[in-house]
Amino acid sequence: MSDSRFRIERHSWDEIAAEWDGFVVRASGAPFARRVWLEAMAPVAGATLNAWVVYKGEEWVAACVVPTRRIAGRTVYRGLPTTAYSAVVHRPSTSRHSTSRTHEYHAVTRLLAEQLVAACDLAELYLPTDQSDVRPWMWSRWSALVRYTYVLPLTPMLPLSDSARRHVRKTHEAGFTTTAEWDFDDFWRPFASTSRRQGFAITLGADALRTVAERMHDAGMAWMIRVQNRQGSCVASQIVLGERETASAYMWLAGTEDDALASGASTRLMVSTAEEALRRGHREWDLCGADLPGVARFKGELGGELRTYFQVDAPRHPAARLMGWARGLVRRSGRNPAGSDR
């Protein structure tokens, strides 16, 4: 596939890092696409970053950052753990006509799709919710799998279910309080309890997650809510990603202590987080995944809008299919990325 209007170039991360955030911010990209996230997460995941940029003249039209590693002499895609959406970014279209916007999106997406297949094995991308047209990926022989998330509109009166309201009321009657003070050690205990209870491995470990979380917090793109019981102990905690006064906040990691599951603390955590997100100037909160039954039921109680997004997987040659089978076996054994409901 070719289009004389556009060209695509591969760059090392060092070549384009200085320009990357400017492009992402203009495109309203999620925190998972920001430079600080990529540079913090890639080393702890053992990945090397490269980027493919689609140009029109000298202007960036679209770009994709691809983390990879070498396995058995081959370059293999390495998805960054706990990353809800891959760093696939398109510029805001300059055309007023929907057909022109669609034609551009299709052309540059097919360029990216075909170059990524040639560049690495086992490419697997989670497209942001605003990239719901996956036809150009499929035309390039990628497969597409629909995924689900809830996006909660942030208003002074949240559209909670009656059950959620009862849970919140129960915590108030029990004397629970919330704080937005940053304390990773306090956050970690309920999160680790949830990891043990649900059987997902924290593949990065506490120190690696702390490194990423602290860097995001220092950059003004990560904040925390903790629920404390009457004695002042943290029983539920959550880290959210999102820069102040940007449209969207994104759920990252959350957990609740085993002995607080019946207390309503988990729901209080979500409601208090939504209230803090509104105070920080966000208009909506993406809960970043609702594919498992229990997760879907819990997040649905908050009254958010159900939205689809897509996982797209590159076509596999025989060796890649074997590696993909092995990777799937690892996932089915329960060693999933921390905080993931996939």
Do the domain assignments include residue 205? Answer: yes
Other C-beta atoms lying within 10 Å of the C-beta of residue 57: 8
Both 325 and 188 in one domain: the answer is no
Do the domain assignments include residue 1? Answer: no
Both 116 and 164 in one domain: the answer is no
Both 172 and 302 in one domain: the answer is yes
Over residues 107-147, the pLDDT tens digits come to: 999 999 999 999 999 999 999 999 999 999 999 999 999 99
Instruction: Indicate if the pLDDT at residue 215 is higher than 70.
Output: yes
Write the CATH number for 264: 3.40.630.30
Do the domain assignments include residue 234? Answer: yes
Q: Give residue for tokens 């891959």.
A: 86
Do the domain assignments include residue 342? Answer: no
> Sign of the C-alpha dihedral, residues 295, 296, 302, 307?
positive
Both 300 and 182 in one domain: the answer is yes
Write the CATH number for 118: 3.40.630
Question: Three-class SS of residue 85?
Answer: coil
**Mean of per-residue pLDDT scores for the chain:** 92
pTM for the model: 0.91
Q: Which domain covers residue 168, as residue numbers?
A: 150-306
CA pair distance 284, 242, nearest whole angstrom: 11
**From 18-27, 100-109, 321-330, the region with the lowest mean pLDDT:** 321-330
Do the domain assignments include residue 340? Answer: no
Tokens matching residue 303: 């009254």
The band of 199, judged by pLDDT with boundaries at 50, 70 and 90, is: confident
pLDDT recorded at residue 328: 57
Do the domain assignments include residue 286? Answer: yes
Both 219 and 244 in one domain: the answer is yes
Task: Give how many domains the chain has, as a whole number.
Answer: 2
Both 117 and 170 in one domain: the answer is no
Of 98, 34, 80, 28, residue with least CA distance to 209: 80
CA pair distance 105, 115, nearest whole angstrom: 16
Both 83 and 118 in one domain: the answer is yes
Do the domain assignments include residue 157? Answer: yes
Do the domain assignments include residue 97? Answer: yes
